[in-house]
Amino acid sequence: MNFLDAPSPDAEALNEGLAHVFFTPVEPYEFARDPDQPPPLRAYALIDASQSPDIAVCLDAFASPARCLFDGEVGEDLGEVAPWLVELTRFDDAWDWFLAEGYGKNWGILMHSRLELPRLKTQLKRFLKITDDKGQSFFFKYYRPKHLNAYLPVFDDEQMVSFMKGIETVFAESDKDPNKLHQYQLNPKGGLATSLHDLRRMGEPLMPRQPTEADAAVWLKAMREGSK
């Protein structure tokens, strides 16, 4: 990225805030992890490839593990418009790409889970097709932030527990203001606990501070004294 492509201060603050909320709880992998301890918390994105013709191509090319939720011939035929699950780390290309190209455009949702990618994919597939009160089946694109924010809060407790099985936290951008990030978790009673993060405000203190004239003066003085 050259200087002209650098994000604006507001965008940079949003990016820092989002990374802080999303990655701070994620635990590092340990090769000698205690088997009596729960698996590490992992960070994932579930992205709707129909939102851009480049999504499936990019996810297939990145080093980050990614799987289409559609299997077999269906996945081969519809992979370009299907939901894709990708595991993320703070400084990988897939995360930088999602920030630059997809966040704020209703591309997908973020989540924390202790399940490995294949098992989480199996869990998420269960909700791709649902039946309404009239017995009609249809695809449920819950992986679009706008849909998740509309439907998840109206699930009953049984639906909520079923949907969140294996998932510790779900994040979805606000369709009204991408600076706002919705967070959803199960409360101890099996209902929904929600919170709303102001990413730009959260990210501003995390941004690298530009040196001031006073900083420059101190550095120059130190350099002169060190050269004597």
Strands ordered across the beta sheet of 42-48: 66-68, 83-88, 42-48, 108-113, 169-173, 180-186, 192-198
> Per this entry, what is the length of the chain?
228
Residue pLDDT, tens place only, 68-119:
999 888 767 888 999 999 999 999 999 999 999 999 999 999 999 999 999 9
The predicted structure's pLDDT at residue 1: 42
Residues 6+ apart with CB under 8 A from 181: 18, 21, 171, 172, 173, 174, 196, 197, 199
CA 34 – CA 42 distance, rounded (Å): 17
Residues 6+ apart with CB under 8 A from 99: 15, 18
- Domain ranges, ordered by start, for the chain: 3-226
Q: Whose CA is closest to 43, among 68, 23, 57, 16?
A: 23
Per-residue tokens: 197: 């993060």
- Helix ranges (DSSP H) in the chain: 9-23, 55-61, 72-78, 93-97, 117-125, 145-151, 157-163, 199-203, 213-226
The predicted structure's pLDDT at residue 4: 44
Burial class of residue 180 (count of CB atoms within 10 Å of its CB; 0-12, 13-18, 19+): middle
CA 21 – CA 23 distance, rounded (Å): 6
CA 63 – CA 68 distance, rounded (Å): 15
Residue pLDDT, tens place only, 25-36:
997 665 545 677
Instruction: Please compute, for residue 100, the number of CA atoms within 13 A of its CA located in the half-sphere on the CB side.
Output: 11
Beta bridge partner(s), residue 80 = none
Give every residue of the chain whose pLDDT is below 70, as ranges. 1-6, 28-34, 75, 208-223, 225-228
Burial class of residue 188 (count of CB atoms within 10 Å of its CB; 0-12, 13-18, 19+): exposed
